[in-house]
Structure 1
Amino acid sequence: MISVATWNINSVRLRMPLVEQFLKEAAPDVLCLQEIKCQEHQFPAKAFAELGYEYQAIHGQKGYHGVATVSRLPMSEFSRHDWQDNGEARHVGVEIPSAGGLVLENVYIPAGGDVADREVNPKFGQKLDFLERMTRWSEKIDRPTLLVGDFNVAPLECDVYDHKALLKVVSHTPLEVETLGQLQAAHDWVDLGRKHIPAPERNYSWWSYRTYWQGKDRGRRLDHMWASPDLAAQSRAHRIAEHTRDWEKPSDHVPLITEFDV
């Protein structure tokens, strides 16, 4: 059995105490982080190693974005793609031999700005192009693969607190949902969040800092764990560590954890 967690931490150095608390509590074998917001030499590698996560693959940049995968199991870096084609650190892939050669791809898809129109908002176009490049990549995958991270898209009507109110809001527009659907179809990816927590059951992973998160529960399901069909058949449990959103100075995202019989 192997357990994998994913979490947009929104600054790993600022929130390392929360990461430590989560690792001691949930004890995943592997943790994938997005938005680490630091360069590779600034990553708290020693702190992770002291917690037992000595194997690390870090793709960072100064002040923004960045992804990192840390593991208690031996692993090696497998891939590093620039799907936005602009040098931003948004992906790192690893291979875990003891898990049957599992390939684990950790991605931070661009948020896309505030206006859902690539003509007036280049960031929205970059997001769509990023997803399109990932789609072409997905078509060529020939190994059991787990794709996790902050996708910045809530695809289903029940993945947001108010479907009609958010139809024109970036992260839930029909164009983004359609584009993400093409990515999913390219490899027959299985959405583990909805395999284990079927729609329309509530399944949020993000709440804005701007609104009181618990009282109004204005959540969206922006974080995802997708598996190749053969790997998905081996997933046995999936949960959302929603309580971490109530910790002191939390990330606006919460971790997802999936367990596999591999």
Structure 2
Amino acid sequence: MEASEERVTDTDLTVVSFNVNGIRAARRRGFDDWLTARDADVIGLQELRCGIDDVDRFGDYTAAVDVGTIPGRNGVAILTRTAPAAVRTWQTHPPKARGLNAFAAEGRYVEVDLADTPLTVANIYLPKGGLPAELQRPGSMREKPDGGAKYLRKQRFLAAFARELQRNRLAARRAGREFLLLGDLNVAHLEHDVTNWRAARKMEGFLPEEREWFGQITGPRRLVDVVRALHGDRPGPLTWWSWAGESFVKDVGWRIDHQLATPALARRARWVEVDKEAAPELRLSDHAPLVVGYGEIDG
């Protein structure tokens, strides 16, 4: 377990973001035991990769879910101890930003208003994307070159989601609520967020334009990168490691799972931990749960 310098005990809200890389597979590896032991208040899950019948049991938690319409792909959920006051997905509440409707049925976004705390929590699974055409080299890629199609699709998503995110953040403020975005953004922002950052500059997820986008949606007057603020100006904490090779053992990975909070909420963040398993055979997913503890959130 990788943690901030000292875990503070005056925590009123423990929040997790976790890409499970298939909830059925994660359950076979011990997800339910982790869920009980972690005992968090709010949990955002990404990449459920299942049908609706597979997400009907999360212990005592209430699940707000959008599995999407693409079999075996995507899917997001937010688990809360108490049923939320409101639930919004892009299928029940279509996004208003131009360009996002093309993604609305893919199971990428769910948002809840907590019933017992003045907080709106959103959970996103952002497209992985690909390389622009000029960086694609046949024979050196895992996938067949596509002329930059996946790259362009992700760029369209990023531009539209930035507008939608701004709209949703401001809507929460008008309602007297703080706003917290959880999720796998498939973007690492800083050099500290990738082990081999020099090589990563020509990889999807760490391209200059993706890093610039991350910088545009964050800032002291917008959304604060809570984990970086707590962890400080040093490498990590990593949250994703390839299944291949010894990346996990050697801790060669990326920080692409995030919690972005409105400034007042970010000031209440007390500690951050990554529930990295002790050994490769114990892994629940290729990601590890990202956990942040927040102090009391005023109404």
Same fold (TM over 0.5): yes
One-letter identity of the residue aligned with 2:79: V
Structure 2 matches for 1:2-81, cutoff 5 A?
A: 2-17=13-28, 18-40=30-52, 42-46=53-57, 48=58, 51-53=59-61, 55-61=62-68, 62-81=71-90
Q: Distance in 1 between matches of 2:86 and 2:64?
A: 6
Show CA shifts across 1:148-172 (max 9, x none): 1001011101111111111101111
Percent identity between the two aligned chains: 29
Question: What is the DSSP-based 3-state SS (H/G/I as helix, E as strand, rest coil) of the residue aligned with 1:172?
Answer: coil
Q: Distance in 2 between matches of 1:116 and 1:29?
A: 40
One-letter identity of the residue aligned with 2:47: E
Q: Distance in 1 between matches of 2:109 and 2:220?
A: 19
Q: Size of the alignment, in residue pairs?
A: 255
Larger radius of gyration: 2
TM-score, scaled relative to structure 1: 0.90
Q: Distance in 2 between matches of 1:34 and 1:146?
A: 15
Structure 2 matches for 1:91-170, cutoff 5 A?
A: 91-100=109-118, 102-113=119-130, 115-117=131-133, 120-140=147-167, 141-142=169-170, 143=173, 144-170=178-204
Which deviates more from structure 2 when the two are superposed, residues 187-196 or residues 30-39?
187-196
Show CA shifts across 1:123-142 (max 9, x none): 11121221211211233322
2:18–2:290 Cα contact (<8 Å) kept: yes
Tell me how far 1:238 sits from its aligned partner: 1.5
- Moved runs in structure 1, 4+ residues, more than 6 A? none
Show CA shifts across 1:64-99 (max 9, x none): 001011111231443223636233110100110211
Q: Distance in 1 between matches of 2:72 and 2:127?
A: 15
2:249–2:280 Cα contact (<8 Å) kept: no
Q: Distance in 1 between matches of 2:293 and 2:154?
A: 30
One-letter identity of the residue aligned with 1:29: D
Show CA shifts across 1:186-237 (max 9, x none): 9621001111101223311000112213333221001000001111112122
1:240–1:257 Cα contact (<8 Å) kept: yes
1:2–1:99 Cα contact (<8 Å) kept: no
Q: Distance in 2 between matches of 1:32 and 1:171?
A: 21
1:135–1:183 Cα contact (<8 Å) kept: yes
Residue segments in structure 1 that go unaligned for 5+ positions in a row = none
Question: What is the DSSP-based 3-state SS (H/G/I as helix, E as strand, rest coil) of the residue aligned with 2:248?
Answer: helix
Which structure would you say has the larger RCO, counting Cα contacts within 8 Å and 6 or more residues apart?
A: 2
Residue segments in structure 2 that go unaligned for 5+ positions in a row = 1-11, 135-145
Q: Distance in 2 between matches of 1:28 and 1:45?
A: 18
1:116–1:173 Cα contact (<8 Å) kept: no
The partner residue of 1:251 within 276, 282, 285 is: 285
